[in-house]
Each structure stands twice: as C-alpha cells, then as structure tokens.
Structure 1
Amino acid sequence: MTINRTTGCAIQRRLLRPHDHQGLESPHGDHSPKSTTDLEPERRRLPQWAIYTIAISGSVLFLVVAATTTYLLLSRGKRDNTVMPWSTGLSGPLSKAFVAGVPSLGRAELQAACEDFINVIGSSSGCTLYKGTLSSGMEVAVVSASTHSAKDWSDRSEEQFKNKISVLSRVNHKNLMNLLGYCTCDEPFTRMMVFEYAPCGSLFEHLHIREAEDLDWPTRLRIIMGVAYCLEHMSQLEPPVMPASLSSSSIYLTEDYAAKISDVELWKDDDKDAALRDEESLVYRMGILLLEVISGRLPFSEDHGLLVLWASSYLDGKRPLHAMADPMLRSSVPDKQLAALCDVVRLCIHSDRKKRPAMAEVARLMRGVTALSPEQATPRNNPLWWAELEIASAADSG
C-alpha cells in the first residue's frame, strides 16, 4: 500500500477539521454568525500555551504521516525484491526481453564466465556443454555448437538454431532448464545458448551411479511430477512443443531436488526424428521413465534387455508387483501407490498408440496418486531472479 501526496493531504484535512469548527462555534450556544471584527479580539486573547500546543501537534502529525509513508514505500520496495515464484515462467526485465526477443550476450562475457571455455561438463557430436559463472555469481550452462567455421555451418543449421531460440522463448516453465540468452559471433565463429544450471546432476546419475546420492520415494515422486507438469504445459502450447529426448539423462536436479527438463540439441533435429516427437511417443517415453524411477533399472541393459520387457511380467500380474520396486527403497513404497502408478504406466505404454492418454491426462492421474500440486513439484528458489539482475545490469551498462 502506498500513500501518495494527495492521500496524505486528505488525511491531514480530516484530522484538522474538528479544530476548524471549534473556532467558529459559540461557547454559549449562540450559533449566530459573528463579524470578522468580533472574532479578532478572541484570536488575540488566545493563550500562548494553546498556540504552542497547536503548533507542536501539527508538527507531530506531519512527522507521523511522513514516517508512515516512508515506511510503506520502503516495505513495498523490499517486497518487490523478494524472490517469488513466477506465474508464467519469467518475470520482470527478463520477461520483457523474451517478449521483444531473447537477450543476446557477448562472447567475451561467456568466455570469461566459462574460464576460457575449459570448464567442459558434457559433449555430443553436435555441441559442447560448459559450466559458467556470471559476474553476479549465478551459475549457467552454456551450450556451444561444435562447428568452428562459418563455411561448415549450413543454412539449415542456422535455421534450426534460430528456431530453437524462438521455441524455448515460448516454453518457459519452472521445471524446464529455461533459456537465458544466446550468443552469435562470426569471428571467431560462435553459436551458443545460455541456460539455467541445475547443480545436483542428472536423474540418471542418482538412479544408476553408486557415487551419487540415493533418492528416497517421496523425492522420486516429486521429481516425476515436475516432469509431468512441464510436459503437460509443453503439449498444450499452440503449436505444441515436444522435447527432442526424454530420459533420466535429460532431467537435471536443482539444489532442492526438483526436476529440470533439459533440451539442448533441438537445432540438430533431423526430419526422420519428427515422427517420434508427437504426443503419443512422448507419453510412451513418460511411461518408460516412470518404470525407471520405480525400479531403479536402466531402460536397457545387457543382462536384462529392454526395461519394458523385463517389467511386463510384473505389469501382467505374473509376478508380485511390489518386487518390481527398487531394492534400495522397496520397504518404503506403499503398495497402493505403487499399484496406481503401474496403472498409469500400462496406459502410457499401450501397444495401440491411439489408446494412450494425452499428457494432460497422465499428469492428472499421477497427481491423484501422489497428491503433489505443481507448486510442490517446482524448485523452491528461483535462479532466474539472479539472471534478471545480470541481464538488466548488462543492458544498463550498454
């Protein structure tokens, strides 16, 4: 609440009005009007202490109103700087930047952030992934195309690169590794994108690598619900946006172990992959991911083959369902919850694509099992708040 100058004056008028009437009303009950000449002796006869009292009271009133106004203004400013969840994925300067066009960042800035591009944390045939730290202290993930020459960068690659930037500027979701900016440079040739960084590694690492911290059952449910809500949001965009891949390796975890879906190679898509990126295929992959989270097993292994085939004997009732749960947490998994999630899995991996539910229905069914709302499945801290400050300060300095 802010008290402006007009409101403050109105408050003072209301407080001072009784004193105005006291000077015009006769102490003897005579309400007949007095001339200005009759009033002058009364004003002159006003005691000195009364004048001092009125003056002091007015000063105190002014100070109280001024102090109250200042306090409310400062409180409002403090609330505005509090990190709060955003309703559509972004807020403040960054939201405006994405509406007008994704922020373009300088190569020198990213080079310094990534320690001269020696801090490599991942790679593929098409790109290299670096970890960087901006001058504000915010950690980011920088994805760079592996091409180092303009003559090796086709028009098709440039089109796909720009398309990804355009697509991700629409997708913004709390359970997505959101795009913060991009960098293009002809000398040296550079095509980079800057994303949020999730510091606790991938879901794959926590499920399958012994050195990583084990995930208990409630944490697994929170992670998988965050994934479901994000995919629901993406599938309901117009036009829908489907991630190029969905696996435990493409899901990263924040400091409080919330899910962040990563999709960093969209511009390398081939036309032959487009058929695998419809909603039916996405729902199928969601079913496989659910099996992986429940069982703690790899989607494919030399010993057991495909996970979906291994799980079929449990899903068909030939083996007890509770024996399918990860041995690391089998005793803590409620039988009723496990059975309900397996019902969702059966729907997701249905052999008839047309009988698989929509992603929104999958999210609804899973919420009925886990009782976790979208707010409960999202990161408690918003790292984009720091990105907003960084980009806003860079814009001001430019």
Structure 2
Amino acid sequence: MPRPWRPMIAAKCCTVDDGQVAVIGNLSRCRPTRSEFSKKVAELTSFRRLMSPSAELSSSSSARFNEDLSAAAAAGYGIGAGLYAFQLCELRAITHDFSSNYLLGEGGFGTVHKGYIDEKMRPGLKAQAVAVKLLDIEGLQGHREWLAEVILLGQFRHPHLVKLIGYCCEDEERLLVYEFMPRGSLENHLFRRISTALSWGTRLKIAVGAAKGLAFLHGAEKPVIYRDFKTSNILLDSDFTAKLSDFGLAKMGPEGEDTHVTTRVMGTHGYAAPEYVMTGHLTTRSDVYGYGVVLLELLTGRRAMDKSRGKSEEKLVDWARPYLTSSRKLRCIMDPKLAGHYSVKGAREVASLALQCISPTPKDRPRMSAVIDTLQGLQHLKDMAVSVGAWPTTPIVGRNAISAKSKMEGAANGRRRVSASAKLG
C-alpha cells in the first residue's frame, strides 16, 4: 500500500495591490468580468494557429472539445497518446470535492488542489500524488488556453517540462491533472519568508534546468514561444529539478520567412520583453528576456516588480543593470540570504549573462543553448565570496552593509601594513 500523505495547506497566493489583482505573487494582468470576457473571447489569437479557419471554439460541451481536437489534428497537432480523460466525479473524489484543505494555490486560471490517484483508477496509471487545476472559464485562461495546454503538454515530454497526466472536459468544467511537484514554485523559495534560503549551487541547478526546458521548446520541430516565463511558473521536484508549467499563453513561433508573430500582448509585467510590450512582436528572444529577469531574481533575491520599494528600485531590470558590469558593484546587490556563500566568478558570469539576456535589442540576446553551455561551466566553481573576504559572514543590508564593508577593508589593509613592517624590521 502507498504511504498515506497529508495535504499541503498553503495560504492563498492572490493579493491586491493598487486595485489590481496580483496572481501568485506578481501577476499584473487584471481579471476581466464575465461580460468583458465574453466580448473578447472571439478575439483571442493565442492559439489560433492550432485551429483550422472554420473551427470556432466553444466552452459549453465535450462534443465541441472533440471537434476542436479533430481540427487541431488536421492542422498537424495531436494531444498525444499518453493522456487520460478523467471524469469530474473522479477528480472531485481524489481532492475531497476540491477542499480548501487540499489547496496548493490559486490565480487568474482558477485553483490548484492536491489529490492522490491509486492504481485502480486507470489501467497502467501508477499510484501517485497529483495536482489538479480547476480552470475558471470566466477568468484569465478560458477554453482556448486550456486547450493549448492539453495539446502542447500532450505532445511534448521532457525532463524539464511538468508532466500532464490527463484532463477533464464536462459541460462548463475544464480541468488539468499534472504530476505533483513537492517543492512548489521557485517564487515561493525566493520570496516567501518561511522558506529556507536556496544555496548558490541549487540556484544554478534551477537556472540550468529552466534553460533546458526553454531550449527544448524553442528547438522543437514547430518552435514554441512560452510567453510567460517567470518564477511562479518554474516548479521544483524533491531534488530541486526545475520544470516549466502553465502553458496557457504559449504560442507557435514564426513560420516560413516570417521573423516574428504579432499577437495581443499578454504575460506578466516586469518579465515581458520591451519590444513585445510596445509592438506585440513575439519571438523566441522574447522568452530569453524573461529568462534574464529570472536570473536577476536568483542573483538578488528581489522580485521583477516590487511596488513596495522606491520608484528607482521598483523595476528590477532598471535598478540592477548598472551593477552588473563589475564584481565590486555586483556585491552590493547580491541576495543577502546567500550570506556570501556564492562563487565570485560564477556570480560575475551569471550577471554578465543576465545583462545579455535583457538587452533592449532582441538580436543581441543569446540563444538558450548558449545560456545552458555558460551556466553548466559554472556549477563546480568553489571560490566562495566569504572565503576571499569579499562578503561579511552574516547578511547585512543598507548603510550597515557599507559600514561593515569599509571596516573589513580597513582591517585587511591594517594587517597588510603590519605584515610589511614586520618584514622590514
């Protein structure tokens, strides 16, 4: 018999800031009302490439869902043979009717609940914990985005993409069943006070894993632009292996001689590439920009957007950019939680890489394959900042940090003078 599990009770992640809904930490898209959603649903283009011109999406019946899948198959996109079609009553049972005690998180898409599947539910399906996403059809991600996840994750399998186990489509209900990721999101580990600080080695491992996930999508036969790369969409398994999740906004990349896809701007403020925000032009390099922002979050322990800080420090990219060009300046913005336990050379290389990724010019940003090569070469560096006197042994911030740094440098200079005098004597 499998070991019994206890529900992971999480505080609701949805917060309100300046009258806007911020979903799972820092999602800045506002949730539309039903009337607004109804007016705009026909205009959505985020997954139109998967549909034949005559296929009009519906959110009201399973029969229409089958038609949508047939249309997608005719366009060359299948949902994969490994997905299970679950009944709503089955998913209600394994989540205790979507009990709040089993809530893992919630956002514009709806809620995510933990459940447990036993080996008797489906032939060939092993007993395991799962995460069940119950989509809010009136919310940010409706039928079209739900269908995007079913098709994309149904056909793609990769160690750094979260595994989609199955789906449910009954009347108005849209649900997705994923593998359960026991360590939650990277966002929670970086920004929640209750979390133990991530070590430098773990941060590099996560950065490499997330880069491999993006590289796989970009290198697919029909390239996929993820479009919503951020810390809350990077999930971690028990070994801190990073896996990308939430593909509702993913879009097929340019085809033929096209250099970009023009689309309605969607995503998260602070992570979206400037050219995409300004023009709607979307390429795989747009994802690279978002990846660079996440690298900055891993370095600094700060959010991509933080309105609680002063205007000059509100947007991480603008605040951090001047500090990324030298090791001396970089020390001033490194995450205090690291307490100096990071590679000086490694941090400098990561900062340089982040600076390339957030370049205002898309063509100057590196490909994800080059990002992986750079990061993998940094994983075994042992030149810790605390061991070379470049960082205090305990986290110090603000003016105290500057004072402590001055004292450390003064003490080091004093020791050198004493040593020189002794030799002369």
Structure 2: which 5+ residue stretches go unaligned? 1-77, 120-126, 253-262, 267-275, 382-425
Which of 91, 96, 106 is matched with 1:110 structurally?
A: 91
- Structure with greater Cα Rg: 1
Checking the alignment, whether the CA contact within 8 Å between 2:227 and 2:250 is kept in structure 1 is no
**For residue 278 of structure 1, what is the aligned residue in structure 2?**
283
Which of 327, 348, 352 is matched with 2:361 structurally?
A: 352
Structure 1: which 5+ residue stretches go unaligned? 1-96, 373-398
Q: How much does 1:298 deviate?
A: 1.4
Give the aligned residue type for 1:121: L
What is the identity percentage for the equivalent residue pairs of Structure 1 and Structure 2? Answer: 31
Q: State the alpha-carbon separation in 2 of the partners of residues 360 and 127 from structure 1.
A: 34
Q: When the two structures are superposed, what TM-score results if normalisation uses the length of structure 1? A: 0.61
Q: Does 1:140 align with 2:125?
A: no
Superposed, 1:24-35 pairs within 5 Å as none
Checking the alignment, whether the CA contact within 8 Å between 1:126 and 1:268 is kept in structure 2 is no
Q: How much does 1:369 deviate?
A: 2.4
Give the aligned residue type for 1:163: A
How many residues matched? 268
Which of 156, 162, 169 is matched with 1:184 structurally?
A: 169
Q: When the two structures are superposed, what TM-score results if normalisation uses the length of structure 2? A: 0.58
User: Once superposed, what is the RMSD of the aligned Cα atoms?
Assistant: 2.8
Q: Secondary structure at the match of 1:370?
A: coil
Checking the alignment, whether the CA contact within 8 Å between 1:157 and 1:268 is kept in structure 2 is no
List per-residue Cα deviations over 1:203-225 (Å, max 9, x = no partner): 11111111112111111111111
Checking the alignment, whether the CA contact within 8 Å between 1:113 and 1:135 is kept in structure 2 is no
Superposed, 1:1-398 pairs within 5 Å as 99-100=80-81, 102-118=83-99, 119-136=102-119, 137-147=127-137, 157-186=142-171, 189-263=172-246, 265-266=248-249, 271-273=264-266, 275=280, 277-301=282-306, 302-303=308-309, 304-317=313-326, 320-370=329-379
Q: How much does 1:371 deviate?
A: 5.6
Q: State the alpha-carbon separation in 2 of the partners of residues 255 and 195 from structure 1.
A: 15
Q: Mark the CA change 1:160 to 1:305 in structure 2 (over 3 Å): closer, same or farther.
A: closer
Q: State the alpha-carbon separation in 2 of the partners of residues 295 and 245 from structure 1.
A: 21
Q: How much does 1:276 deviate?
A: 6.5
**For residue 421 of structure 2, what is the aligned residue in structure 1?**
none
Give the aligned residue type for 2:134: S
Checking the alignment, whether the CA contact within 8 Å between 2:202 and 2:240 is kept in structure 1 is yes
Q: State the alpha-carbon separation in 2 of the partners of residues 291 and 164 from structure 1.
A: 28
Q: State the alpha-carbon separation in 2 of the partners of residues 234 and 267 from structure 1.
A: 10
Q: How much does 1:114 deviate?
A: 0.9
Q: Secondary structure at the match of 1:342?
A: helix
Q: State the alpha-carbon separation in 2 of the partners of residues 139 and 221 from structure 1.
A: 27
List per-residue Cα deviations over 1:7-49 (Å, max 9, x = no partner): xxxxxxxxxxxxxxxxxxxxxxxxxxxxxxxxxxxxxxxxxxx
Q: Mark the CA change 1:305 to 1:288 in structure 2 (over 3 Å): closer, same or farther.
A: same
List per-residue Cα deviations over 1:127-163 (Å, max 9, x = no partner): 222221112451111112213xxxx79xx95444333
Q: How much does 1:170 deviate?
A: 2.6
Q: Mark the CA change 1:218 to 1:268 in structure 2 (over 3 Å): closer, same or farther.
A: closer
Q: State the alpha-carbon separation in 2 of the partners of residues 218 and 101 from structure 1.
A: 34
Q: State the alpha-carbon separation in 2 of the partners of residues 182 and 268 from structure 1.
A: 20
Between 322-331 and 284-293, the greater mean CA deviation after superposition = 322-331
Q: How much does 1:272 deviate?
A: 3.2
